Structure 1
Amino acid sequence: MGRSRGGLTSKIHALVDAEGRPVSLRLTAGQVADCSEADALIDTIGEGDILLADKGYDSNAIRAKAAERKAWANIPPKANRKGRFAFSSWVYRQRNLVERFFNRIKQFRGIATRYDKDPVNFLAAVKLVAARICCLSL
């Protein structure tokens, strides 16, 4: 758990497939930048996949790693970005699958309130809820 102005916080980073089912889940402290955790998540994508992420994941390293894995990174550029990249707002609409996944896991009170303060136990609870979501969506 990390510290911020609001107290103890944590972030859940998720990689979901085209059906909204989780592929990879990671937990970091609240003050850790989003793009620092993307390296571990990108290792699970395959050739020809499309990486959809929000502006917090816009960095040259993430785009290079996705290109190295022969995947297309469709990430909107930050406001201070100098270079131009291919970006499709039509494809970006599918990113709502991640948001819907987070909405489903937050239906469980222990996850929404981050009841368990131990990061290992909290991540285990998130993975249990994700497994239940996967079983119900089949």
Structure 2
Amino acid sequence: MSALFLLSERQMARISPFFPLPHGVPRVDDRRVVSGIVYVIKHGLQWKDAPKAYGPHKTLYNRFIRWSRLGVFDRIFASLAGEGPRPERIMIDATHLKAHRTAASLLKRGLLPRFIGRTKGGMNSKLHAVCDEKGRPLVLLLTEGQLSDHKGAALVLDALPDARALIADKGYDSAWFRQVLEDKGISPCIPSSRSRKRPYPYDRALYRERHRIENLFAKLKDWRRIATRYDRCAHTFFSAILIAATVIFWLPQQ
């Protein structure tokens, strides 16, 4: 077990208060099971291929699905991301996550949306993110791949943290978005699109920091089950994204 990934005692102490209370039969070791879930998501494995040291693969899968439906991973991410100090600057952007044929080729069933759409790059989902000046995610949102950046920005407006400035690329250049930010007391640092006759001024030195949100997406896509969507249900795939974001950015490494 020493050669495999294992969450530290300090990391478990941060997230264990959000775990559901066991009922009846004592639950299998949380540290081992959650570490196994993280290992599978990071390496892009099928659940049946999880190392035996983490225990039965059905236990890993069932725990992941059950806690995903209960919103456990949502609460862990929201709580840890909200503990940080008020950010001076925030950044917003979106990226496409390719949907594997096992997820994209199935007919939609049930009332809940799958959040898989078609673009020029094929079938995919779209991850919208807001991060702080250190490139740590504060708000994450999953939508269909064809949803525009503007519509995604409108969906996260209410969740934007208080900040002095917001950095975004020219894909977010619109009068209504700038006005909403200014009404919130946030100064937009967004270059104007080529079609705009009167370009808006912006801080070019500040705009150079936008690479941090690109680095955020790159780190998330290092996890193979994030870079390619294998999960049929949107809530399980989004839970995998939240697990990756929590482990990479919000859990102490020691």
Same fold (TM over 0.5): yes
Q: Quick check: 1:79 aligned with 2:194? A: yes
User: Tell me, what secondary structure is at the counterpart of 2:134?
Assistant: coil
User: Tell me, what secondary structure is at the counterpart of 1:85?
Assistant: coil
TM-score (norm 2): 0.51
Amino acid at match of 1:61: W
Segments of structure 2 that go 5 or more residues without pairing to the other structure are 1-115
Residues 20, 85 of structure 1: alpha-carbon distance in 2 compared, 3 angstrom cutoff:
same
Q: 1:90 Cα deviation (Å)?
A: 0.7
**RMSD over equivalenced CA pairs, Å:** 1.7
Amino acid at match of 1:86: P
Q: 2:128 aligns with which of 13, 21, 40?
A: 13
Deviations 1:95-126 (A, max 9, x none): 11101110110110000112223222211111
TM-score (norm 1): 0.90
Mapping of residues 106-121 of structure 1, within 5 Å: 106-121=221-236
Amino acid at match of 2:118: R
Amino acid at match of 2:179: A
Segments of structure 1 that go 5 or more residues without pairing to the other structure are none
Cα separation, 2, equivalents of 1:53 and 1:107 = 23
1:135 is aligned to 251
Residues 5, 19 of structure 1: alpha-carbon distance in 2 compared, 3 angstrom cutoff:
closer
Q: Quick check: 1:102 aligned with 2:217? A: yes
- Give the length in aligned residue pairs: 137
Q: Quick check: 1:90 aligned with 2:205? A: yes
Mapping of residues 16-95 of structure 1, within 5 Å: 16-43=131-158, 44-46=160-162, 48-95=163-210
2:60 is aligned to none
Residues 20, 83 of structure 1: alpha-carbon distance in 2 compared, 3 angstrom cutoff:
same
Deviations 1:57-95 (A, max 9, x none): 111111011001000110111110133312111100111
